[in-house]
């Protein structure tokens, strides 16, 4: 979604420009065909409250979007009222208290830039234009989340408009049920977040990245090595592997081993990424870059240009896995061999979560994260590529623990995304807080457990 440049207004289905205005809310260029009856582009919290009350009066279900980056286009549902919050993008930073108050429509890069100017940090998404709203609700694996925690772990409070139109604050002390639910419910949340209150951290003094590139024929060796060293990699290093049809410097299908690192000095960072330079596979690499100092914003914009160009048509899916790497290799090879054209890609993230997280809805993760992102330009290729991500992850699902809501594909492939007990608790809170089912929920639910 572009940054809005006009004042928001109410759109009725059927009026000129309605379709284009609705589709412009979505990062993905696919058109699922659904249209709301009404779209409200809210300019402030009062308009959000008015929209929720109107939906209630008129018996309309509500869908919400902030930055529009849901791969699944979760907010594009039939009929109902679509609430577009992209204009709620205020960012206030209290450096003394180390707290930020942000609107859900703010972009991750805007918050990151504002914090950088004050020597502060919080883990935001890896693409600049991801909306804070959806990112913080679903969990949020951000820059250096292995050190600072998930995006949602930085949330210390939220201002919410509930299904009855009331405006409330939620935190550990107040409306604690909503506070618990908002940290992980993602696209199944049942209230409108109009403001997040976030905990901030001192900014690490050095940020940079080292990359190593291999031809695709080395896939099995690279993943076997990556898995063997993964647990020992410093938490400051966000060790990841991309499978891409056009690898950096190779301009052919290949494997990019990436080691972004954030820490307090270049010397420490260099020592932390040495495991890549000294890997037993290094002589097979097509290239190894030096450790390049790069800001998080530069890395985010770089990823956006090379891997996430706007208005493409997308399919995405993912899995958390603790399975032995040998069991995963056939699936990884099948992904590599079937990648749609560049900039489609697959991401392997060396995650190794901490032993404990706070009690919150987010509750499913594993040592490794694997996600696939297929992209193409033309509508006539929908049939060819549209199910690629679903099919690839379906084939590997037996080796997974479930999925992450960040890259959810629940409408096409229902899968587990939180612990059973947490899902049951979330359902109970929903039934109490949104008894009429005013808000749309996830597009698919995990299969019931016997």
Ligand X SMILES: Cc1cc2nc3c(=O)[nH]c(=O)nc-3n(C[C@H](O)[C@H](O)[C@H](O)COP(=O)(O)OP(=O)(O)OC[C@H]3O[C@@H](n4cnc5c(N)ncnc54)[C@H](O)[C@@H]3O)c2cc1C
The residue among 219 and 349 lying less far from ligand X, judged by its C-beta, is 349
Site size toward ligand X, by CB under 6 A: 33
Shortest Å, Cβ 122 to ligand X: 13
Shortest Å, Cβ 428 to ligand X: 19
The residue among 185 and 233 lying less far from ligand X, judged by its C-beta, is 185
The residue among 22 and 219 lying less far from ligand X, judged by its C-beta, is 22
Structure tokens at 441: 């929920």
Shortest Å, Cβ 189 to ligand X: 5
Of 391, 386, 419, 446, give the one whose Cα is nearest residue 72: 386
Q: Which residue among 74, 154, 344, 422 contacts ligand X (CB under 6 A)?
A: 74
Of the listed pieces 123-131, 212-220, 279-287, 427-435, which binds ligand X according to CB under 6 A? Answer: 123-131
Site for ligand X in 49-68 (CB under 6 A): 64-68
Taken in order 408, 413, 419, 423, is the CA torsion positive or negative?
positive
- Would you tell me how many other CB atoms lie within 10 Å of the CB of residue 449? 7
Does residue 106 bind ligand X (CB under 6 A)?
Answer: no
Residues 6+ apart with CB under 8 A from 13: 35, 36, 37, 38
The residue among 104 and 402 lying less far from ligand X, judged by its C-beta, is 104
Sequence length of the chain is: 450
Site for ligand X in 293-312 (CB under 6 A): 308
Site for ligand X in 357-386 (CB under 6 A): none
DSSP state of 237: B
Q: Which residue among 40, 137, 147, 237 contacts ligand X (CB under 6 A)?
A: 137
Is 128:109 a contact under the CB 8 Å cutoff? yes
The residue among 67 and 204 lying less far from ligand X, judged by its C-beta, is 67
Residues 6+ apart with CB under 8 A from 135: 67, 69, 108, 124, 125, 142, 151, 406
Is residue 118 classed as helix, strand or coil in its secondary structure? Answer: coil
What are the φ and ψ backbone dihedral angles of 113, each rounded to 5 degrees?
-65, -40
Does residue 402 bind ligand X (CB under 6 A)?
Answer: no
Of the listed pieces 113-121, 124-132, 278-286, 382-390, which binds ligand X according to CB under 6 A? Answer: 124-132
Does residue 344 bind ligand X (CB under 6 A)?
Answer: no
Three-state helix/strand/coil letters over 381-429: HHHHHCCHHHHHHHHHHHHCCECCHHHCCCCCCCCCCCCHHHHHHHHHH
Shortest Å, Cβ 119 to ligand X: 23
Q: Which residue among 135, 275, 369, 376 contacts ligand X (CB under 6 A)?
A: 135
Is 223:328 a contact under the CB 8 Å cutoff? yes
The residue among 308 and 385 lying less far from ligand X, judged by its C-beta, is 308
Does residue 41 bind ligand X (CB under 6 A)?
Answer: no
CA distances from 60 to 37, 179, 262, 398, 411 (A): 8, 25, 46, 39, 21
Shortest Å, Cβ 227 to ligand X: 22
Interacting residues with ligand X (CB under 6 A): 27, 64-71, 74-75, 85, 104, 125-127, 130-131, 133-135, 137-138, 140-142, 186-187, 189, 192-193, 308, 406
């Amino acid at each position: 979604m572009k940054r809005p440049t006009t004042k928001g207004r109410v759109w009725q289905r059927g009026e000129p420009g309605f379709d284009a205005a609705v589709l412009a809310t979505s990062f993905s260029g696919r058109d699922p065909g659904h249209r709301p009856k009404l779209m409200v582009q809210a300019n402030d919290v009062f308009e959000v409250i008015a929209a929720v009350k109107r939906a209630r009066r008129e018996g309309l279900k509500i869908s919400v979007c902030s930055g529009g980056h849901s791969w699944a286009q979760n907010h594009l549902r039939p009929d109902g009222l679509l609430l577009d919050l992209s204009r709620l993008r205020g960012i206030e930073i209290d450096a003394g208290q180390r707290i930020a108050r942000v609107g859900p429509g703010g972009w991750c890069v805007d918050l990151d830039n504002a914090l950088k100017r004050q020597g502060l940090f919080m883990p935001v998404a890896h693409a600049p234009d991801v909306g804070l709203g959806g990112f913080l609700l679903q969990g949020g694996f951000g820059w250096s989340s292995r050190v600072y925690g998930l995006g949602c772990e930085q949330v210390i409070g939220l201002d919410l408009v509930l299904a009855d139109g009331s405006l409330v604050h939620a935190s550990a002390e107040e409306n604690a049920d909503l506070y618990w639910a908002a940290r992980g419910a993602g696209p199944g949340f049942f209230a409108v977040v109009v403001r997040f209150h976030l905990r901030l951290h001192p900014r690490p003094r050095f940020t940079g990245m080292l990359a190593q590139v291999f031809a695709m024929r080395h896939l099995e060796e690279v993943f076997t090595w990556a898995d063997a060293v993964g647990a020992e990699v410093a938490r400051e290093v966000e060790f990841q592997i991309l499978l891409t049809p056009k690898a950096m410097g190779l301009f052919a299908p290949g494997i990019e081993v990436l080691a972004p690192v954030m820490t307090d000095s270049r010397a420490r960072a260099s020592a932390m990424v040495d495991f890549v330079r000294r890997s037993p596979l290094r002589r097979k690499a097509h290239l190894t870059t030096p450790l390049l100092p790069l800001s998080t914003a530069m890395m985010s914009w770089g990823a956006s240009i090379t891997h996430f160009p706007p208005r493409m048509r997308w399919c995405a899916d993912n899995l958390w896995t603790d399975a032995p790497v040998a069991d995963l290799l056939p699936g990884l090879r099948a992904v590599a061999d079937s990648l749609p054209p560049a900039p489609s890609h697959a991401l392997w993230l060396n995650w190794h979560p901490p032993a404990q997280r706070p009690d919150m809805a987010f509750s499913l993760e594993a040592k490794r994260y694997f996600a696939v992102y297929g992209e193409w330009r033309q509508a006539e290729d929908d049939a060819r590529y549209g199910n690629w991500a679903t099919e690839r992850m379906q084939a590997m699902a037996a080796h997974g623990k479930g999925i992450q809501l960040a890259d959810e594909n629940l409408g096409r492939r229902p899968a587990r995304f939180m612990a059973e007990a947490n899902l049951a608790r979330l359902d109970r809170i929903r039934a109490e807080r949104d008894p009429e089912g005013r808000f749309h929920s996830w597009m698919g639910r995990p299969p019931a457990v016997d």
